[in-house]
Amino acid sequence: MKKYCDVCGKPSGMYPLCNACFKLRDEGKVIKCEECGKWHLIDKACEECGAWYKQAKTATEKKENKNSYIEDDDYQSNCLICGNEAYGYLFCKECYNKYKDKTILLKVTNCDKIELMQTLDQHEDGLIYKCADGHKVRSRAEVLIDDWLYYHGYAHAYEKALAVDADKDHDLHPDFYLTKEDIYIEHWGYENKKDYQSQKNYKIEKYKDLGVTVICTTEKDLSDISGTLERKLKFYKKGIVNE
């Protein structure tokens, strides 16, 4: 039995769509009606049953209301940060509100795994990782360092203010301060970023001017953070930034 295209009415052989409308389907311009199964243009109601395709209508609403958050079960996607339902968006409502207007670092692994590494707004509330001793820190790297210090008996404070001058707004906030040893630890995580490198250089010069002892770690040290910290704490030189 000869068939005709659901959309344009032209002969379509044994298929519900002609070649031209198959191309429109591939472009997302032709969709299948959820109510009766007939194909129709995405911006028109189904001619068979008159139903308006809900997803097409929602897509139009989203385009017209870019600043609104519309929850629609037809749009299923997972939040890039927490993995919860995001209704077609990159982030769920909670994560969007939490990180809106902030700078975050996401690690992508094997094209299908995305992990929040750190917020780059250092003095915003980005303390999202909890350590074994109850400290909340900004990155997984800092969790590794904090846990190592805790399990090895080093009393420490996180981001303890270090005064540079009389102005409190100029205070530095090294990642960790070992209270008994009077040693600071800085973890440099984004050395390939120009702004971050400038910030690092500024802080190192200030540390040298203040004559404090700072032990530094980088991302490459994370593969053996235990050996790195043990070695650097054992062989550090007083008053020198140990890079």
User: What confidence tier does 59 reach under pLDDT thresholds 50, 70, 90?
Assistant: very low
pLDDT tens for residues 83-92? 788 877 788 8
Whole-angstrom distance, CA of residue 89 vs CA of residue 143: 29
Residue 191: predicted pLDDT: 66
User: What confidence tier does 116 reach under pLDDT thresholds 50, 70, 90?
Assistant: low
Residue 214: predicted pLDDT: 95
- Dihedral over alpha carbons 228, 243, 241, 230 (to 10 degrees): 10
pLDDT tens for residues 23-58? 888 888 888 887 778 888 887 777 776 665 444 444
Question: Buried (b) or exposed (e) across 111-146, using 16+ Cβ within 10 A?
Answer: eeeeebbbbbeeeeebebbebeeebebbbbbbbbbb
Classify residue 60 by its DSSP letter: H
